[in-house]
Structure 1
């Protein structure tokens, strides 16, 4: 199982610039023949409080990413804003090798102006059972119960986290580790740039690999 985690540079409200960056980083990753390519939270629109206009691009974004997945026979995980009736979800999708949406997660841990999710779902792949959560969900007690109940083999976590003090530090990584240990699944985390970064933890919360800034983390199942 080969995974490319891409800490992508995201411009709030600039879909075309973000799409160009998404394509560029995706095509670079294809040189390594990954099985999964993973991008950050709402990576194609960004999000500026409380501008939900990016949600209107949900169908177009899903169609474009599905086409890339199908053309390259690869799974793609990424975050986007999802319109629903009179409100918006912060969601993430798993697109299958055939371009179909295999899994949707709606974020739990969001302020009141978002709709919020209420479950964790899984999808079967040839590598095992996969689940997705988003950023602050990693620290949500209800999420922990759902993940333990569903028992995924792998957990993907798109993030958009920029602490006030700049680059994530050792305490931030240790906090991730403790939560992953509680969830009990191999976990792949990728953050938007800036500050960027990507991390892989085993089911016991041990940090197996990481990158900083915009550097893609290529994981090929090494111990």
Structure 2
């Protein structure tokens, strides 16, 4: 698969502007023959004020864009209000090039400021098989810190590709953390992306927001995203990564089926899971 990852500056002031720039990147990725394009968490805005981003019927527009540019799409996430229970969920999707929504995910591990107005996800950690025959899983930002969801997707459901849209900032370490090391969150994210890829034998796509726009459009914000969007795989680590927080689209061709199978042949993680060797579960069978 040829995967495009857009480290995108989210404008909290204008959903229309975000839609416009999203489509510009989709057109560019389509010209480069990308099979999949990924955007960051809260791509329409609203991270600091979820009611702004709470939007209904976004799915139709997302599907139309995927069809128009004939590219699979993970549109970051939106704060979506459920019409049945009225709650707001931080929601992402995997949409195929024909506009069909293959997978919906609602964020389980909410970041601390989200918890006042956003409900915890209630759909679990699902997977779906895309048009390339690759099993795909989704999670969002702070979910990256918790390996259990990855174990469920990769080992129980056999995910080979897990996509993580994020809005991850330097300030997430807090004042004390930044006094220890102002680059703390960069080290945190880079280490977790590599760990999750190796320990689960998966291709991991991490797509973070950008601080500086490619069109030099300054935004008022107290939160500065770290960037560091990347595609990370077993054996190699990051095959492509933004080592900065500026807006950029990166691409990589990844033979996901071959890499994940080679990792399994070397490490037996999935085989050992099936046989009960991980976490000592086989002792209960003796």
- TM-score higher than 0.5: yes
Q: 1:31 Cα shift?
A: 1.6
Task: List gaps (5 residues or longer) in structure 2.
Answer: 172-181, 212-224, 260-286
Distance in 2 (CA, whole Å) between partners of 1:77 and 1:67 is 13
Could you list the structure 1 runs, at least 4 aligned residues long, displaced by more than 6 angstroms after superposition: none
Distance in 1 (CA, whole Å) between partners of 2:23 and 2:183 is 27
Distance in 2 (CA, whole Å) between partners of 1:24 and 1:86 is 33
Task: List gaps (5 residues or longer) in structure 1.
Answer: none
CA 1:204/1:155 → structure 2, altered by over 3 Å: closer, same or farther? farther
**Which gives a bigger RCO, structure 1 or 2 (Cα 8 Å, sep 6+)?**
1
Aligned length: 220
Corresponding residue of 2:229: 198
Corresponding residue of 2:129: 124
Q: 1:136 Cα shift?
A: 0.8
Higher share of residues assigned helix:
2
Corresponding residue of 1:172: 189
Calculate the aligned-residue CA RMSD, in Å: 2.2
Larger radius of gyration: 2
Corresponding residue of 1:68: 65
**Alignment equivalent of 1:146, drawn from 142, 148, 152:** 152
> Normalised by the size of structure 1, how large is the TM-score?
0.89
Distance in 2 (CA, whole Å) between partners of 1:13 and 1:167 is 29
Alignment deviations for residues 181-213 of structure 1 (CA, whole Å, 9 cap, x no partner): 333311111101114332111145722221232
Q: 1:68 Cα shift?
A: 1.1
Q: 1:167 Cα shift?
A: 9.4
> Normalised by the size of structure 2, how large is the TM-score?
0.70
Q: 1:52 Cα shift?
A: 2.0
Corresponding residue of 1:162: 169
